[in-house]
Copies of this chain bind each other. A is one copy, B any other.
Amino acid sequence: MSDHRVAPVTAHEPPYYAVVFTSVRTEDGDGYGDTAERLEELVTEVPGFLGMDQARTPGGLGITVGYFRDLAAIEEWRSDLEHRAAQKRGRAQWYEAYTVHVAKVERSHTFERVPTRE
């Protein structure tokens, strides 16, 4: 997974959806990086895609949270053919276990540190 940002996705105006994907990888990472990079590009083309947060503890759990305006946007992403092929390969090769939670955000807020001058 690439990580271009150093800031979390900020709060959007509710309601919107969060798709929480938690996973543990197998030791077979062949092809994973390229596919992940491709999917991260593809999802940005889905109308209603609001952003994505990703983190992975080395050797441990990975969490990806995708934010979408509504269920129609999630459905479009779910049915994307490249995404479906990657999911199938993920179950066959890359993932030991994963859970997906599709959830409607009811409230959210963002804190950002105010820079201080010395």
Contact = CB atoms under 8 A, between A and B. Distances in A.
Given A60-B6, A63-B65, A101-B11, A53 B22 contact: yes
Interface in A40-94: 53-58, 60-63, 65, 67, 91
A99 B109 CA distance: 6
29 contacts: A3-B57, A8-B61, A8-B98, A11-B99, A17-B103, A18-B101, A20-B20, A20-B53, A22-B55, A22-B65, A26-B113, A53-B61, A54-B61, A55-B56, A56-B57, A65-B65, A65-B101, A91-B111, A95-B113, A96-B112, A96-B113, A97-B110, A97-B111, A98-B110, A99-B109, A99-B110, A99-B111, A102-B107, A103-B105
